[in-house]
Chain A
Amino acid sequence: MLLTTRSLTKTFPGAKALDSVDFGLAAGEVHALLGENGAGKSTLIKCLTGAYTRDSGDIALDGAPISPRSTSEAQELGIGTVYQEINLLPNLTVAQNLTFGREPTRFGMVDGHAQRRRAETMLEGYGIDIDVSRDLAAYSVAVRQIVAIARAVALSGKVLILDEPTASLDAREVATLFNVLRGLRDRGLGIVFVSHFLDQVFELTDRVTVLRNGRKVVTENTADLDRVRLIEHMLGHALEDEVSTRARTGGATARPDLLRFEGYGRPGRIEPFDLSVGKGEVLGLAGLLGSGRTESAELMFGVTPAQTGAATDAGGMLDLSSPRAAIAAGFGFAPEERKEDGIVADLSVRENIVLALQARRGWARPIPRAEQLRLAQMYIDRLDIRTSGPEQPVGDLSGGNQQKVVLARWLAMTPRFLILDEPTRGIDVGAHAEILRLIRHLAADGMSILVISSELDELIAVADRVIVVRDRRHVAELAGADITSDTIVRAIAAPDAKPTEAAQ
């Protein structure tokens, strides 16, 4: 074994984050680390990389006990980490990022030429051809991710830990990344791969370790596992299968139209599209990242106003020139980036829930405190938001509960049309199913909902109709029994599809 932990334990106030975890990583394998949020994945990683100090237990690298006290110490020992977001510095050049801390110097000064040459050498074999003297910010997330891996491998060279590396990559970029990882595995590195995407786990990894509530549940060869058993390990109970329990209505039922978008578009963001939204209908929007999914939603909600076409309802033209206008038209929008665009972290659960309602009423007509508390308590109960109370800052809640708070904010508005962009991203599997159920309930009560998701299962489970987006165009519309992962994938990957730019 390359890297092993024995009885690794770490306690935080109120919770045992890791409880006697034994973990082993062999050289030349990709080892998936799985678990729901709070299972202990990130704590384990942080203990391995020196970001946390363990309470008890041993870590051994190549058989020798180690206790790194900082990430740079772990790096020098041979354990490199690539995180989901903050890895490198976008304001420095690619060459500076790659050689940072080990710049070639001449007469005490950094030798720019040697630096660029070294950077180019470091990137050899990763299959990307970029100008290393440009700012890192000039390149796509995928390229940055690969640069980060190149740096980590060059600095450490034994163990590579990848924390959700594919969260913001599209399929083509994921494929490039996986090729890089397979190459590194064949060179004898041990790779720890953390991901929410089970497909990717099955595609890439050799072994899987599942954590639950701070304990190790199982370590097994990936080939010996199937999806259902893996999810069972993660959840500890059999997953209620949303897909099979939902009876298909068979063909599109006739629903009265609520809204119509005609020729709706904006050059550079999304080509003009026609879309009708039925009352009580759940619309799915499928497509790869960057295909124009989020752009469609932002257009409809007035975040970036449309430049062509019109939106109408039974009463005539709608003004959707800004979020405020869209809200006035009865729209709601829970954005993809929950932390950046969704929650107001320092404010309480109560304030976050009443925020949109208050904004609509205007500053001069405050919602009485008692009414705010009633609303907050109602949604805490109804959506089962796990919080110590309505006054807890929402930033202290877990991802799933934060998402529910954002949902509650919009439900309190009783919108007629609610747009949910990746409502289940980064949420553990249990909350996942709850949110899908909630969407069905709301639609049954007459709300029209647009769900954007990169998980096909999810769309198949909730949507009455699925719009497929590709290359910033709405390319297909599927309804009823036609909604299967096969049809959606085929629509996404239609033969006339132009290749999306991987770099740039």
Chain B
Amino acid sequence: MNPRLYPLAATIAIFVLAWVICVMQFPLMLSTRVIGNLLTDNAYLGIVAVGMTIVILSGGIDLSVGSVIAFSGVFIAVMLRDTGLHPLSVFALLLVVTTGFGAGMGGLIHALAMPPFIVTLAGMFLARGAAYMLTIDSVPIDHAFYDLLDDAYYLMPGKGRLTLIGVVMLLTVAIGMIVAHRTRFGASVLALGGGEAAARLMGVKVGHTTVAIYAFSGLMAGLSGIVFSIYTSSGYPLATVGTELTAIAAVVIGGTLLTGGAGFVFGTLIGVLTMGLVQTYIVFDGTLSSWWTKIIIGLLLLSFILLQKGLLRLTTARLQP
């Protein structure tokens, strides 16, 4: 096997192992119901994590996505409440806004030569503030089209529901995989992650690429906001606080180097599912308090990071004669 695939293999192996352990304890966890719920409950996270993977592959970080998801929900809810626009038009409008927002941050990062951490931190405040300015209450979404979206699912054998938003998430991951690994843009992203100076020498248009990367992340955050609004049927400016960190955790657990330059979109999906699995396990167990989720995810993060560190050391050690 090509050594570059080791981290991905480890991620998958650990996910499978975790699932086997879960199933051995609770055989029901193998059912399509659990699988369907896993996909549905984590759909918004999976989508936003795809965008985050691209950003992290380029060596950047996007702290604004949680706020953008909340803004999206509020934006959709308020637009549907106050205007007669069809949800699809609202979606289109929203995606333009969030993509433009991401592009703006990318432009600032490049033009000001400032760390993405700080620029997207400002974006985080801005998006959350904008959501507050639209409303400070939870706004329910009541639209026939939303009921339609909510009820769209495919009944898998075993009564598990493969919902529309679950499918959207899987499609997004597939598109993300193509974008990251099979396009010139993806190659430029990895090049930036490998080193800006070298990327520039190779002919990467650093400015364009940076703008496109954060625009893509904004687009994904907008899409995730749509999915989240379908999932919750409401818009709330205090929603999805901290989702950016969960997404980053999923990306890291998925085997992507936080320094950029190496990683896999598919691994991110596994990362999201692993975190979902932990939550499901705690629900199944019933005796564990909810705060154990956080502690276990933290431990999981730690073990994945240490594992990667070890793998890295192993591969580089083998390189030297």
Assess A/B contact in the complex (Cβ within 8 A).
yes
Query: Are B2 and A89 in touch, CB under 8 angstroms?
Result: no
Q: Chain A: interface residue count, which band?
A: 20 to 34
Give the contacting residue for A109; candidates B182, B201, B202, B320; CB below 8 A. B182
Given contacts A75-B203, A504-B321, contact A100 B193 (CB under 8 A): no
In this complex, what residue of B is CB-closest to A137? B319
Task: Provide the bound-state CA to CA distance between A501 and B319, in Å.
Answer: 12
Task: Provide the bound-state CA to CA distance between A138 and B6, in Å.
Answer: 14
Task: Provide the bound-state CA to CA distance between A97 and B199, in Å.
Answer: 10
Task: Provide the bound-state CA to CA distance between A236 and B235, in Å.
Answer: 77
Return A345 CB to nearest CB of chain B, in Å: 16
Query: Considering residues B198, B200, B320, which has the most beta carbons from chain A within 10 angstroms of its beta carbon?
Result: B198
Query: Considering residues A91, A112, A134, A268, which has the most beta carbons from chain B within 10 angstroms of its beta carbon?
Result: A91
Task: Provide the bound-state CA to CA distance between A108 and B2, in Å.
Answer: 25
Given contacts A101-B203, A108-B183, contact A86 B197 (CB under 8 A): yes
Task: Provide the bound-state CA to CA distance between A101 and B203, in Å.
Answer: 7
In this complex, what residue of B is CB-closest to A89? B194
Q: Does A135 contact B (CB under 8 A)?
A: yes
In this complex, what residue of B is CB-closest to A88? B198
Interface string of A437-452 (1 = CB under 8 A from B): 0000000000000000
Interface string of A76-111 (1 = CB under 8 A from B): 000001010011111111001100110101001110
Task: Provide the bound-state CA to CA distance between A92 and B2, in Å.
Answer: 13
- Which residues of chain B are within 8 angstroms of A108 by Cβ–Cβ distance? 183
Query: Are B183 and A109 in touch, CB under 8 angstroms?
Result: yes
Give the contacting residue for A110; candidates B2, B183, B199; CB below 8 A. B183
Query: Are B184 and A92 in touch, CB under 8 angstroms?
Result: no
In this complex, what residue of B is CB-closest to A268? B320
Query: Considering residues B182, B183, B199, B320, which has the most beta carbons from chain A within 10 angstroms of its beta carbon?
Result: B182
Q: Does B4 contact A (CB under 8 A)?
A: yes
- Contact residues of A: prevailing secondary structure: loop
In this complex, what residue of A is CB-closest to B196? A86
Interface string of B189-225 (1 = CB under 8 A from A): 0110111011111111000000000000000000000
In this complex, what residue of B is CB-closest to A97? B202
Q: Does A454 contact B (CB under 8 A)?
A: no
Q: Does A71 contact B (CB under 8 A)?
A: yes
Query: Are A89 and B319 in touch, CB under 8 angstroms?
Result: no
Return B262 CB to nearest CB of chain A, in Å: 5
Q: Does A53 contact B (CB under 8 A)?
A: no
Task: Provide the bound-state CA to CA distance between A215 and B200, in Å.
Answer: 30
Query: Are B187 and A72 in touch, CB under 8 angstroms?
Result: no
Residue ranges of A at the interface with B (Cβ–Cβ < 8 Å): 71-72, 75, 81, 83, 86-93, 96-97, 100-101, 103, 105, 108-110, 112, 133-135, 138, 268, 501, 504
Q: Which 9 A-B pairs have the closest CB atoms?
A: A89-B194, A91-B261, A91-B194, A72-B203, A109-B182, A86-B198, A101-B203, A100-B202, A86-B197
9 other A-B residue contacts (CB within 8 Å) besides A92-B190, A103-B187:
A81-B201, A86-B198, A87-B201, A89-B191, A89-B195, A92-B194, A96-B190, A109-B178, A135-B4
